[in-house]
Structure 1
């Protein structure tokens, strides 16, 4: 059961998500009671899940929900299931030496980060509600306690399968696999080998998720197998960040000294994690068929990745831009340390005839000019459609670290106005509005890259 939170108060209620779930549009005292751990939804019986995982490549069998509870699932009137998970709900059997609490700082980061990715179209868990309290929680310093209501189509992680395989509990492994297929991948049930079919479906959805991360400059920061969702949703927002400067090897998690989870390593880490999932499923079917399925990940990821970049740079779906040119654009940005986001948006705002004039923005002007001359022959022929597509694919508002910190700083003084404003802008990231102008700005050129911890 949840541990009650002292003197709770509302911080944020995701009205658009509540409408999608067909829940009350206005947060009320009953729901605040659930957020505070003093009430439950009717019919819900909270559980703390047990799982294991590979953390920074090392096996850890001692994992589980140490500060969150799966409250239950909600079936909305349209027939869609939503699992509701309360983060910061208090100690569980898997808390080890932790206090089971969440803090306002990290809860705001997850609330805004998950909704930012959703606004970009990326597969992700969602944040429904955020409550603060007067309870003091100690991290590096004393901080404000909070709870976050996360919703997802599933909270099953790769680590659940790894735990049962590690225990050689084949009956439970079969049961979990059958449950996953029935409820999340029913299209696999009638396949000749449903388990291999399941793995291929997970590979497809994971590849799509990673493609969004790479195409939009998102660094997850802690891609342990226990943080990998079986349905391919971005899961567990800790030391994440969106790139500012285009740095392929960017690392923001201060505990990742070797750069295992650097931005450019994310596809290979996803592949490695899928190998671990395949190993966990191996007691149930032919391991060679599972290995063959995982070998398709890179091709699958590249397909989704280049589709997204093609869209962002104005190519048509019928005659997409050559991958070499898509790669060259990002290589050009990286070579000169350009911002990752604003150059895309600038191209979107300009007619094609003005693209060559941007060469003066680059130190290596001939390199840009050569790239520009080639890509202009491969963009969407209809100028109106090309610009519409690019403006709808290149965000003007990004959940940049300096904006997140400004929102957190204000919230810790009791001012939630910036949070509400930034949240609104992130829900509509492709639209420029005067009242959101501050959220459109990149950090100052001299601003240091953020250094984040897992408690972030």
Structure 2
């Protein structure tokens, strides 16, 4: 069943826009696991392709482009909105969960500015695979249901094939929605938006003494937990503007993202981020900065001093969630978790010698405890590693079978590494989608070892090579 609650309940926060069809389309990807969960066809047909390429609509769809604002690289920009995507409507699954369907690459909108409203196959492949990889790791994220390619040419740094991607989540409301209404002096409409978000996504806040403060508390906790997941798995978002921050605390708007190869705490992949504002080690602080902008917008509706309290909780929540993930990845128990100093020292060890962030976690997972010391030969500062190993080995789960099972279910074999994504993209540009299908399958089961997926477990030939990605990535 399709609904349009956003359209009906949030007037003034969108423009009605019809999709602009793509020409000569073909299937690239269909997430049949997600489709089955939603009660949609496991095998797509031409009617679905028509809708997902902008050439048709299902009954009940009422496409809109959302209006919002945001801070981009720290600078205020009131002129933002969905410039290349349309919210088609909401789908209710058999569990009565509501999913918003957002079609990226659907053509120009009133918020496209000088853009063409299109998405390219390259960036659509990266988002499809990246978001599903994140989901399989257990980190909150939007989902990708479908990817349709086209012979239509789109101009970016070069001429590229166009595409559309159907993104799903329970809400596309961003921090920037609240900022826009506060900035444009619409307190009544801001209250309507707060009520909408509480009613549909945070109903536990409705009966609080101050629902606005309670809402911020929930968003702070979810955002802190999200960024803990990024840090624990070596993920760099690349463009943490407030308009790219989900009110649900999900990984949102995959642009110049990357999973680290060599462990570099100040890693930056976005070629426009010249100052390193969104570097890997800056993400926790930027998350708080963005939450402060949200609180600033909400202060229109309540006591600003009351909003300060949830913000003070952010650092502790983020650190505890991060250490909790590292504890599981390194074989610690829930009952007697590893000390934070030991957890941080492991990351410092990897960073000091720029070791591969993923391979060394898995190397520990695949060894009985008695063989951990053998990894010392991989470190220049062998003594430092052995000191850490001696300290941690008496504190992890001692039963090899239990510990290895836990570690092998939290340390992926397959990661959405940049060089593998690029290989898939290059094959797709030649009309070969088998690498896409293979990597997608491996990323859906990232902890599983299979011979046919062995290539996707390989690090790049040069893990220190400088990689630059654009926002159109």
Normalising by structure 2, report the TM-score: 0.96
Mapped pair 1:240 → 2:263: no
Contact between 2:147 and 2:164, CA under 8 Å: does it hold in 1?
Answer: yes
User: Aligned partners of 2:62 and 2:459: how far apart in 1?
Assistant: 45
Structure 1 residue 383: Cα displacement:
2.2
Q: Which residue of 1 aligns with 2:39?
A: 22
Q: Which residue of 1 aligns with 2:71?
A: 54
**For structure 1, which segment, 14-23 or 407-416, has the greater mean C-alpha deviation from structure 2 after superposition?**
14-23
Cα offsets for 1:52-103 (capped at 9, x unmatched): 0000000000000000000000001211110000000000000111000000
- State the SS of the aligned residue for 1:143: strand
Name which of 244, 251, 254 aligns with 2:271. 254
Name which of 87, 90, 98 aligns with 2:115. 98
Name which of 433, 442, 459 aligns with 1:425. 442
User: Aligned partners of 2:375 and 2:85: how far apart in 1?
Assistant: 50
- State the SS of the aligned residue for 1:54: strand
Structure 1 residue 412: Cα displacement:
0.2
Mapped pair 1:146 → 2:135: no
Contact between 2:262 and 2:463, CA under 8 Å: does it hold in 1?
Answer: no
Q: Which residue of 2 aligns with 1:363?
A: 380
Structure 1 residue 418: Cα displacement:
0.1
Mapped pair 1:200 → 2:200: no
- In structure 2, runs of 5+ residues without a counterpart are 1-17
Mapped pair 1:40 → 2:40: no
Structure 1 residue 337: Cα displacement:
1.1
Cα offsets for 1:147-180 (capped at 9, x unmatched): 0000011000000000000011011000000000
Q: Which residue of 1 aligns with 2:411?
A: 394
Q: 1:446 to 1:231 in 2, by over 3 A?
A: closer
Structure 1 residue 415: Cα displacement:
0.1
**For structure 1, which segment, 120-129 or 37-46, has the greater mean C-alpha deviation from structure 2 after superposition?**
37-46
Contact between 2:71 and 2:77, CA under 8 Å: does it hold in 1?
Answer: yes
User: Aligned partners of 2:54 and 2:280: how far apart in 1?
Assistant: 37
Q: Which residue of 1 aligns with 2:280?
A: 263
Structure 1 residue 26: Cα displacement:
0.3
Contact between 2:262 and 2:464, CA under 8 Å: does it hold in 1?
Answer: no
Structure 1 residue 449: Cα displacement:
3.0
Structure 1 residue 382: Cα displacement:
2.6
User: Aligned partners of 2:236 and 2:186: how far apart in 1?
Assistant: 35
Structure 1 residue 447: Cα displacement:
5.8
Q: Which residue of 1 aligns with 2:152?
A: 135
Contact between 2:266 and 2:281, CA under 8 Å: does it hold in 1?
Answer: yes
Q: Which residue of 2 aligns with 1:437?
A: 454
- State the SS of the aligned residue for 2:65: coil
- State the SS of the aligned residue for 2:148: strand
Structure 1 residue 446: Cα displacement:
5.9
User: Aligned partners of 2:330 and 2:129: how far apart in 1?
Assistant: 26
Cα offsets for 1:23-62 (capped at 9, x unmatched): 1000111110111111112101000000000000000000
User: Aligned partners of 1:401 and 1:57: how far apart in 2?
Assistant: 27
Name which of 324, 328, 338 aligns with 2:355. 338
User: Aligned partners of 1:303 and 1:256: how far apart in 2?
Assistant: 29
User: Aligned partners of 2:90 and 2:446: how far apart in 1?
Assistant: 29
User: Aligned partners of 1:168 and 1:258: how far apart in 2?
Assistant: 32
Name which of 423, 426, 437 aligns with 1:409. 426
Contact between 2:261 and 2:463, CA under 8 Å: does it hold in 1?
Answer: no
Contact between 2:356 and 2:463, CA under 8 Å: does it hold in 1?
Answer: no
Mapped pair 1:314 → 2:359: no
Q: Which residue of 1 aligns with 2:138?
A: 121
User: Aligned partners of 1:289 and 1:398: how far apart in 2?
Assistant: 41
User: Aligned partners of 1:373 and 1:320: how far apart in 2?
Assistant: 16
User: Aligned partners of 1:276 and 1:352: how far apart in 2?
Assistant: 46
Q: Which residue of 2 aligns with 1:73?
A: 90
User: Aligned partners of 2:323 and 2:277: how far apart in 1?
Assistant: 24
User: Aligned partners of 2:462 and 2:197: how far apart in 1?
Assistant: 47
- In structure 1, runs of 5+ residues without a counterpart are none
User: Aligned partners of 1:56 and 1:283: how far apart in 2?
Assistant: 24
User: Aligned partners of 1:383 and 1:43: how far apart in 2?
Assistant: 55
Normalising by structure 1, report the TM-score: 0.99
- State the SS of the aligned residue for 2:218: helix
Cα offsets for 1:182-210 (capped at 9, x unmatched): 10000111111111010000011111110
Q: Which residue of 1 aligns with 2:3?
A: none
Cα offsets for 1:398-455 (capped at 9, x unmatched): 0000000000000000000000000000000000100000000000136613210101
